[in-house]
Amino acid sequence: MSGNKPTTIKEIARKLKISPSTVSRALNDHPSIGDVTKDRVRKIAEEMAYEPNQTAIFFKQRKTFTIGVILPKLSEPFFSDAISTIETVAEEKKYTVLLGQSLDNEQRELNIVQSFKKHRVDGILMSLGKNTANMDYLDILAKTEIPIVFFDCVPDLPNVHKVYSDLSTGMMEAIDAFIDRGHHKIALINGPESLLASKQRSEYFIKALKQRGLAVDTNYIVHTDLTEQGNEDAMESLCALADRPSAVVSFNDFVTLDLIRYAKQRGIVMNQDMYFISYANYPLWKYMDNPPMGSIEQYPDQQAQRAAEILFDCIDKKEAVEQAQEVIFPSKLVLK
């Protein structure tokens, strides 16, 4: 039960009085080795509890059969779904998954990338943190030739592989749903203006309103820093308007949780005085007495699956991945 080192091929060879190469070949079922020898080797290997030293093999093959996954935080169902899918795909390819949560912290993101690089992962799947602006690691990785595929929260750059959800389709459906139900005072509670995700929501929101012939009231577009306080403040500023909106598209379901709670405190009746639709389609709404009118599904599993496939294509050096891949899934409104 103490420091007895693992058996090596050499030891087997010595015991059998044959050469290490023969042992190696026998163990790998090489055709040129006789069945007798193979059997003898296998038997002894079994007895001595031989286990190939993968670190040696990785080293020699210049491959680790490991991919790194970097995402903001696993406590968001979107990402815990995604990682499950990634794991499944990886498992099929006999790969193992190295995990890193950035917690939306740019510095951590960089550290994780560095650490993954150190560990010589064969590839990286990454969803950016909410505030990430700096893309230095792209250079770092380009130098090291480690393929990287972004998903969900992707950088606004050409020449990188990315898989994400098209927020506009869901937005259009949301606005449609609101208008069809007679709403014309529709607001947007958006995330921080710096985020690409926010810019997109904003853009699609305005586009959708215009397309349906509604005027865009800038008072109806407010921002939250995504903290509980920020969410409440955003809601408050909407409620303070003389002409309060009757429908709200919110950044995501987490924000909406706070909005609904705040609204209730203020005596605003859900789905009567005010209607909500947000992004994410988290599974918890079915347990709520006052769920939002709908939520926009962004398909974490599909995104993760596709991103993982592209990554493995890169790793396996398929031709198709010479150019940067860009895969976009439409988002979809799900009524509650």
Q: Which residues bind DNA (CB under 7 A)?
A: 5-6, 8-10, 17-22, 24-25, 27-28, 31-34, 36-37, 50, 52-53, 56-57, 59-60, 62
Q: Cα–chain-centroid distance for residue 118?
A: 22
Backbone φ and ψ for 3, nearest 5 degrees, come out as -60, 45
Question: Which one of a copy of itself, DNA, none is in contact with 31 (Cβ closer than 5 to 8 A by kind)?
Answer: DNA
- 61: tokens are 């093959």
Candidate ranges 13-21, 138-146, 217-225, 305-313; the one touching a copy of itself (CB under 8 A): 138-146
* Among 300, 296, 272, residue whose Cα is nearest residue 285: 296
Contact pattern from residue 237 through residue 276 relative to a copy of itself, giving x for each residue in contact according to CB under 8 A and a dash for the rest: --------------------x--xx--x------------
Which CB sits closer to DNA, 6 or 283?
6
Is 59 a binder of a copy of itself (CB under 8 A)?
yes
State the Cα–Cα distance between residues 263 and 184, nearest whole angstrom: 20
Q: What is the pairing mode between strands 186-190 and 161-166?
A: unpaired
Stretch that binds a copy of itself, among 8-16, 47-55, 150-158, 162-170 (CB under 8 A): 47-55
Question: What values do phi and psi take at 125, rounded to 5?
Answer: -110, 135
Q: Residue 28: which of DNA, a copy of itself, none does it interact with, CB under 5 to 8 A by kind? A: DNA
Longest dimension (CA), the chain: 93
- What is the footprint of a copy of itself within residues 176-215 (CB under 8 A)? none
Question: What's the token pair of residue 177?
Answer: 């749903």
Compute the radius of gyration of the chain from its Cα atoms.
27
Which positions ≥6 away from 168 have C-beta within 8 Å? 200, 203, 204, 207, 208, 331
Tell me: does residue 151 bind a copy of itself (CB under 8 A): no
| Residue count (the chain) | 336
Question: Are residues 278 and 252 in contact, defined by beta-carbon separation less than 8 angstroms?
Answer: yes
Amino acid letter, residue 306: R
For a copy of itself, which residue of 46, 243, 289, 319 counts as binding (CB under 8 A)? Answer: 289
For DNA, the closer CB: 12 or 280: 12
Sequence-ordered alpha helix ranges (H) in 250-319: 253-265, 300-315
Q: In angstroms, rounded to a whole number, what is the distance separating the alpha carbons of residues 226 and 17?
A: 69
Taking the least distance from each CB to a copy of itself, the nearer of 220 and 275 is 275
- Residue of 17, 32, 46, 143 interacting with a copy of itself (CB under 8 A): 143
**Partner from a copy of itself, DNA, none contacting 19, C-beta within 5 to 8 A by type:** DNA
233 binds, among DNA, a copy of itself, none (CB under 5 to 8 A by kind): none
> Cα 108 to chain center, whole Å?
16
Determine contact, residues 59/278, Cβ cutoff 8 Å: no
**84 touches a copy of itself (CB under 8 A):** yes
Q: 165 with 177: CB under 8 angstroms?
A: no
Residue with smaller CB distance to a copy of itself, 257 or 277? 257
Please state the closest distance from residue 287 (CB atom) to a copy of itself, in A. Answer: 5
56 touches a copy of itself by CB under 8 A: yes
Q: Candidates 45-53, 166-174, 199-207, 327-335: pick the segment binding a copy of itself (CB under 8 A).
A: 45-53
Part of the chain binding a copy of itself (CB under 8 A), chosen from 36-44, 149-157, 242-250, 288-296:
288-296
